[in-house]
Chain A
Amino acid sequence: MIRLPLVLFFSAVLFSTGVYGVLARRNAVLVLMSIELMLNAVNVNLVAFSQFWHDITGQVFALFVIAVAAAEVGIGLAIVILIYRNRETINVDEVNLLKW
């Protein structure tokens, strides 16, 4: 049995890595990937809690998160392509018509 705090620590590290990626990367696709990393960290938490409480709700929730992530990625990439068509760049700090 893997001890719960260990899994939580692991998922917190992944989540923080994702947060750092969102804040530090300029490429919109990479920002989106970092957000995916954060969502996956949440899923690890949910599955670990599910095992801890002997309750399968956490796994059901993780399934919902995966569905939402798929929808989000679809829209996000459509927006990225749209930006690229307009400006030939997807760097978030070059997209500066409005103040970032």
Chain B
Amino acid sequence: MAPDQIVFWVFAPVSVGSAVAMLFQRNAIHAALFLIVNFFTLAVFYLVLGAPFLFAVQIIVYAGAIMVLFLFVIMLLGVDREESLVERLRGQRPLAIVLGLGLAAEIFVTARASLGLARGPANFDETVNVGGNAQALSHVLFRDYFLPFEVTSILLIVAAIAAMVLAQRRERTTVEAAGEAEV
């Protein structure tokens, strides 16, 4: 078995396990920690799949920045709140599991049927990541995809305005606002 296959078979169960464990945690902090485990395993997959730059970004941006934001908000709202895991609709869970596995199986079969097993033995690092993954990425990002790159900056401006608009204390008290809404 090739080394990357060993990595896959070691990390895939951990990844799926942590994702499922996240769903069944009463405590939001525990759920967030499981999600971080999941993100770390995905970072390892990126490394194996020839994307070392994304490996770093995944850890720095996702597991680092985004999840810290999540933890911060969970702490802000109170960690001791526990959520009941009782079903809102009965029988939803088995149905959801069946449908989810169906989706996964369908994609597996479709992919297998139409893509074959692997597309040539050529090594990704020798064909695409010439001169390094970050260099190869930057060539494409700043030549072909420079418009989307700039558009992302607008997206971030909108997010900044959004945080400003939403998080600012409103002038009117919430009691008044709630009263008006019920009219």
Contacts and interface: CB of A to CB of B under 8 A. Distances in A.
Contacts of B38: 14, 37, 40
A43 B43 CA distance: 10
A67 B77 contact: no
Contact of B69 (A63, A77, A86): A77
A2 to B, nearest CB: 5
A32 B162 CA distance: 17
Contacts of A62: 51, 54
| Among B4, B32, B104, B144: residue with most chain A CB under 10 A | B104
Interface residues of B, number: 87
> A interface, how many residues as a size bin?
35 or more
B57 A17 contact: no
Nearest to B160: A74
Interface string B55-97: 0011001100110011001101100000110011000110011
A14 B108 contact: no
A7 B22 contact: no
A59 B55 CA distance: 11
A47 B128 contact: no
Contacts of A18: 19
A24 B23 contact: yes
Given A43-B42, A51-B124, A62-B51, A25 B23 contact: yes
Contacts of A84: 77
Contacts of A60: 137, 140-141, 145
20 contacts: A6-B8, A8-B108, A9-B108, A12-B103, A17-B23, A19-B100, A20-B97, A24-B92, A29-B77, A30-B31, A37-B22, A54-B124, A60-B140, A63-B54, A75-B159, A75-B162, A78-B162, A78-B163, A82-B167, A86-B177
